[in-house]
Amino acid sequence: MASEELLEQTATSLASLGRNELKRRIRNYRGRFKLDFTDNYLDSISVDRLRHILLAALLNAHQHN
């Protein structure tokens, strides 16, 4: 139940972020692994894809804590 709530809260908070904030968070992400995307790539993908990348990284980090 707690993981479902975490998923919902995290997805909801990411849904309100725009492209620039999502890119900033991806570039500054500090987790178990580095997110290493070029600015050109991040500019070329949809906002939904940016949200997906960041959500996956955050959920992965949570699973290992």
Q: Where are the domains of the chain?
A: 13-63
| Series of mean pLDDT values for 10-residue runs along the chain (65 residues) | 78 95 96 91 97 92 70
Q: How far is CA 32 from CA 38, 46, 47, 63, in A?
A: 19, 25, 24, 11
Query: In the prediction, which pLDDT does 59 show?
Result: 86
CB 64 within 8 A of CB 32: yes
pLDDT of residue 61: 81
Q: How far apart are CA 51 and CA 19, in angstroms?
A: 9
pLDDT of residue 65: 59
pLDDT number for residue 28: 95
- In degrees rounded to 5, what are phi and psi of residue 47? -60, -35
Entry pTM? 0.85
